[in-house]
Structure 1
Amino acid sequence: MLLEFTVGNYLSTKNKTTLSLFAVPIKEHKETNIFSTERYELLKGAVIYGANSSGKSNFIKAISTMRRLVLQSFEQSSTAELDIAPFLLSTETEKTDSFFEAVFSVDNIRYRYGFELDNHSINTEWLFESQKKTEKPLFIREHDRIEVMSRSFPEGKDLEKRTRDNALFLAVVDQFNGKVSKKIMKWFNNFITISGLKHEGYKGLTLEMLENKQTQATLLSFCKTLDLGFDDLAISKKPFDQKELPSDLPEGLVKQLLTDFEGAFKIDIKTTHKKYDVKNKVIEQIEFDMRSQESSGTNKLFNISGSIFNVLNNGGLLVIDDLHTSLHPLLTIAITKLFNSKECNRNNAQLIFATHDTNILNYGNYRRDQIYFVEKNKYGESEMYSLVEYKEAGKTIRRNKDYLEGRYGAIPFISNLSGIVTK
């Protein structure tokens, strides 16, 4: 489970910024939105608000970037760039390292893992462990020097010289089957990051759910509860057929595609609808093609639902940018309430998402320590703060109205539009 995530000098974030999932001592939604471990009281997630270009998506991207760097580090060549962009609007940061750090708990042991890097090399890296209260280092890396604590992290011994400048030491140790590093790599692999705009690539888990009779029932129940307008879902599989390729493709490309798709199947998702006669009596069931005949919102829900239930069933972290896009506000709220629920979220899964949907402020049953705002200051730096940090003496918080009126900041400043259209 995630405890904290911190990023600094990356994209629009200049100074180190932290999102914390430690629950503060307030009484809001204690029974549903927090869970207790032997050591901590933790939140089941957080929602991030901000104007367009405020930096909220960049913060989500930072989490995704750290995950990518950890999981793909060992596979890269020694000449591969790391695709890192620092904060470029200051001479102080444009040529300095970006900072990433995650604090998380695995098997009731707290780990703090992070690194600083530029586009070409890992310049510092560290891993600390806390089994009780005292935190102890397992390894510390500074440029080409890696210090391994032999008693605490024996799996890392003698692997220092096997680590490339652009590779994470943690990933190297994992390749040699280190016990602790393997556990940490599994934690990073066990959370999913999703773009709410480009979600087509995430439907693989949903298709797996449909092919499994047990999870199929869960998915169908979810769709029916949300009233998406169809009665059933089914997968149609057929072997790849060369005749379905466009006729004007170059011959060389056709040969390549035939090689690539040899033995592959084309998968179509069908929804079932009732058809009525003139007296509104059901006369038959007809099939619609999901992609071409259902709404963009229905397609999005279908594509991401596998990821949602994968995390809910197994525990872990789900991170989504632009969750609200193409979804009715009630559907967005329904998804978030799955996580802030004792019945649906029995494995303490966590959901972090960015949105513009202000209905969640009033109707999403979120605690103040779960609500974050991001805005840019006059220097182009993204700054993030939570609603629990906001205090105004003698005034009641009316979340939706107050946010839209700008009391908490993190909204666009729109000047007079009357002069835009000429007569």
Structure 2
Amino acid sequence: MLIGFSVGNYRSFKDVVTLSMVAAEDAYGNDELDKNNVFKVNQQFSLLKSAAIYGANASGKSNLILAFNFMRRFVMNSAKLQITDKIDVEPFRLSTETVDKPSFFEIVFQLKNKTYRYGFEVTQKRVVSEWLFCTPRSRETKIFNRQGDKIEYSKNIEQGNILRGLTKKNTLFLSLAAQFNDSLTVEIVSWFSHLGVVSGLNVELLKAITLEHLSNRQDLIDGVNKLIKKLDLSIDNLNLETETGKISLDSLPQDLPDVVRNIISHSSGEIKSATIKTYHPKYDSTGKMIELEIFDMDNHESDGTKKILALSAPILDTLQRGEVLVIDELDARLHPLMTRSIIELFNSQKTNPKNAQLIFTTHDINLLSHKFLRRDQIWFTEKNHQGATDLYSLVEFADINNNNTFEKDYIQGRYGAIPFIGDLSKIIGN
């Protein structure tokens, strides 16, 4: 479960900002939200089941999701880099103060009743610093700390001396240790591998994510079929049709997304090419359903239907496992009621008994209601006049309470994070 995520000097983030999933202690006066939208971790704190991020176009919302994705990919793949490979990180480029300084990433999460704080600073050439701390009860203890080539580690790290000598300047110590089957770091990297990140609206990537989740998971296919019937998509069910073929892994593009590479990386070069088929009821002249007509999802379904079908598998998988899912532009191409229904799956004791968490960016102001989201679940991104993104929560506004109309106040600019649009009538001459 995610406690917090911080990023700085990355893309539009100049200073370090933090997205916190820790529930605020304020009395919200809405017992239903407090019961469904929050879960208790221990006596010290509770966590939110979801967080919505609002902001104008180009305000930095998507960059926050990209930061999640970069950290996840770098943890999972840095041990594979050659010594001459560049680290695919982009600092804040609009300031002379930051362009040559490292980017900062840190994440705090719970795993097996222990709190871990892991982070690193990197440039395109090297890992500048890296750290892992654990809080088993109340006191934080160091697992390892790295400053440049100097690595200090505790007895928790197996084969520490060997690993220290093998760690390249552009490789994370965490990733290398996990590759050598160090038990603790294997668990940490596994947590990252189950952190779901859906960034952008690329239809092919969404399809690849769907195929990865549904492959060899009949239980998940059954769950998706139940969900699509509830969402009124006029689809009776879907299924996967697969064909086996061969491909050379060396022929794959180097920039192929990890999620796609994982699908086609099979032993002895064999891969399964899968297509998603949707089944629609077919009726006779009397209105009686006589059979199911098979459609190819790629060619016959709308972009909105493709998206909801693509998201269904990772959403259900996340709920079943009690993990974390991060989605950019959740509401894009979806009906507002459908977006709301997805969020309700997470903000529920019944459908989310394992306390999975959903973090998403959106422009859907219909969600801005004190009857649907707590103030600490609502976040905003806004750029200053120097192009740097700030991230802040509605709970930080001391004069806001549940008597306010969040939707109206947001559109009127009371919380910032909206575009300031000039007089468009002057863009076309007489």
Superposition TM-score, scaled by structure 2 size: 0.88
| Deviation of the 1:176 alpha carbon | 1.9
| Deviation of the 1:370 alpha carbon | 0.9
Cα deviations across residues 325-376 of structure 1 (Å, max 9, x unaligned)?
1111111111111111111112111111111111111388211101100000
The structure 1 residue matched to 2:364, chosen from 357, 364, 367, is: 357
Pair 1:176-2:180 in alignment: yes
Supply the AA of the counterpart residue of 2:198.
I
The structure 2 residue matched to 1:61, chosen from 58, 66, 85, is: 66
What are the equivalent positions in structure 2 for 1:13-412 lying under 5 Å apart?
13-26=13-26, 27=28, 28=30, 29-38=33-42, 39-149=44-154, 151-204=155-208, 206-207=210-211, 209=214, 212-238=217-243, 264-362=271-369, 365-392=372-399, 396-412=403-419
Superposition TM-score, scaled by structure 1 size: 0.90
Name the SS of the counterpart of 2:39 in structure 1.
Answer: strand
Structure 1 stretch 261-270 or stretch 384-393: which is displaced more? 261-270
| Deviation of the 1:211 alpha carbon | 5.5
Cα deviations across residues 403-423 of structure 1 (Å, max 9, x unaligned)?
111111101100111112233
Cα deviations across residues 178-213 of structure 1 (Å, max 9, x unaligned)?
121111111111111102401433445644547644
| Deviation of the 1:298 alpha carbon | 0.8
Cα deviations across residues 239-290 of structure 1 (Å, max 9, x unaligned)?
669xxxxxxxxxxxxxxxxxxx986554332222223344433344322221
CA distance in 2, matches of 1:221, 1:394: 38
Distance 1:292 1:368, change over 3 A: same
Supply the AA of the counterpart residue of 1:145.
K
Distance 1:342 1:155, change over 3 A: farther
CA distance in 2, matches of 1:414, 1:20: 31
Supply the AA of the counterpart residue of 1:356.
H
Preserved CA contact (<8 Å) 1:103 1:110: yes
Supply the AA of the counterpart residue of 2:109.
F
Cα deviations across residues 356-403 of structure 1 (Å, max 9, x unaligned)?
111111388211101100000111110010011113379942111111
Structure 1 stretch 2-11 or stretch 274-283: which is displaced more? 274-283
Distance 1:364 1:285, change over 3 A: farther
Cα deviations across residues 90-119 of structure 1 (Å, max 9, x unaligned)?
111111111000111111111111111100
Unaligned runs of 5+ in 2: 247-267
Preserved CA contact (<8 Å) 1:121 1:166: yes
Preserved CA contact (<8 Å) 2:243 2:273: yes
Name the SS of the counterpart of 1:273 in structure 2.
Answer: strand
Distance 1:10 1:364, change over 3 A: farther
Map of 1:420 onto structure 2: 427
The aligned length equals 404
Distance 1:169 1:364, change over 3 A: farther
Name the SS of the counterpart of 2:368 in structure 1.
Answer: helix
Supply the AA of the counterpart residue of 1:327.
L
CA distance in 1, matches of 2:180, 2:269: 35
CA distance in 1, matches of 2:207, 2:66: 20
Name the SS of the counterpart of 2:310 in structure 1.
Answer: helix
Preserved CA contact (<8 Å) 1:210 1:234: no
Supply the AA of the counterpart residue of 1:58.
N
CA distance in 2, matches of 1:398, 1:408: 12
Cα deviations across residues 135-192 of structure 1 (Å, max 9, x unaligned)?
121211111111123x454553442121100001111111222121111111111111
Distance 1:335 1:401, change over 3 A: same
Supply the AA of the counterpart residue of 1:31.
K
Preserved CA contact (<8 Å) 2:50 2:343: no
Distance 1:363 1:14, change over 3 A: same
Structure 1 stretch 263-272 or stretch 320-329: which is displaced more? 263-272
Name the SS of the counterpart of 2:424 in structure 1.
Answer: coil
Moved over 6 A (4+): none
Preserved CA contact (<8 Å) 2:220 2:313: no
CA distance in 1, matches of 2:59, 2:413: 14
Structure with max Cα Rg: 1
CA distance in 1, matches of 2:69, 2:400: 38
Distance 1:376 1:204, change over 3 A: closer
CA distance in 2, matches of 1:395, 1:303: 35
Unaligned runs of 5+ in 1: 242-260
Supply the AA of the counterpart residue of 2:222.
A
CA distance in 1, matches of 2:337, 2:325: 20
CA distance in 1, matches of 2:78, 2:243: 37
